Structure formats: structure tokens, C-alpha cells
Amino acid sequence: MQNYENVAYDNLIKETKNLFVMLINIVYFTIMKCKHQIDINLSIEQVLKLINDPNYYHRWQRGLISTELISGKNGETGAKRRIYIRIAGQKVKMIETILDYQPPEKWQARYTTNGMKSIQTNIFKSKGKQITQWNCYSEFNFTGGMILISKVMPQVFKERARITQTDFKSFAENFYLCK
């Protein structure tokens, strides 16, 4: 009888370990990271002036429906903003929280919505008098049904930052060209 109890206990330990490994894999694989870089033919001061002005958000944030500051001061660490945006045909409500703002080099924000939290870290570097390099690091953490969506359509999330950078570059360079 002792032998059967040892075998049952060993099997229970193995199954527990397997379950633990499966849970770790689910958590690990629900995180997606990506990096994008673009050079903007403007000074870092000009870039930051436009990127931080909510009056221009609709000009370079594709699908933006509305945005409202709900606490703090615009662009400052701790500020929160409610954003309604259309992504992949769906209206999405997000809360943006500025986590770290160290002008002119760093701007970091967390975006939360149902089933997803995203941290965007933006690093700006001057590459001369009229060129600013913008590096964007994105980390997405998915829960619930968004895990499946992130597996089926990962490009929707990965490309969003790249498209936003490209749209901003076009807007900003044309904005100052027309002045």
C-alpha cells in the first residue's frame, strides 16, 4: 500500500509542476514588446512643443475620437487623460497615465483598457540642430479575451506605435514647413 501512495504522491507533484509551468507560460506569452525608431527633421524643442499640445492630437493620432484631461496638468508626471479612439474598427476607451516626463529626453505613459495594459516609453535624442531621433518602446500585457486577439492579430498592436510615429513626423514637418 505504501508503494501506491508514493506513486500517487509523485504523480500529484508532477501534475502540480506541469500546471505551474503552464501558468508561467500563459503569463509570459501574454506580454508583447516592440521597438520603433524614426528621425524627424525638426529640432527637439519643436518636436516636444507639438507632441505635448492636445490641440494637435487629432492631427497625428489616427482614429482619435476625443481626449479629456481628468487629473493633473497636461504632460506632467501623474497626469491622467481619458481617450476614446477607434482601433481596427472598434471604439476603445483608454486611460493614459503619465508615468515619467523628463523633457526633452523621456516621456513614458501607461495606457489601460479592458484586457490590456500598455507602457510606452519614448526617448528623444537630438541628432543635430534640425534632426530629432524618436525611439518608442512598447510593452503590452494582455488578459482575458485580449490574449487570443493578441495571438491572432499581433500586428494591430505592434504597428500602432510605428504608424503614430510616421503620422506625427508627417504632421510636424508639414506644420513647420507651412509657417
**What span, in angstroms and rounded, lies between the C-alpha atoms of 142 and 149?**
9
Within a domain: residue 171? yes
Within a domain: residue 114? yes
Number of structural domains the chain divides into? 1
**What span, in angstroms and rounded, lies between the C-alpha atoms of 152 and 52?**
33
**What span, in angstroms and rounded, lies between the C-alpha atoms of 103 and 118?**
21
pLDDT in tens, 143-170: 887 877 787 888 888 888 899 999 999 9
Domain holding 86: CATH number?
3.30.530.20
Within a domain: residue 90? yes
Within a domain: residue 157? yes
Within a domain: residue 28? no
| Domain extent at residue 148 | 33-177
pLDDT in tens, 37-71: 999 999 999 999 999 999 999 999 999 999 999 99
Within a domain: residue 21? no
Within a domain: residue 13? no
Determine if the pTM surpasses 0.85. Answer: no
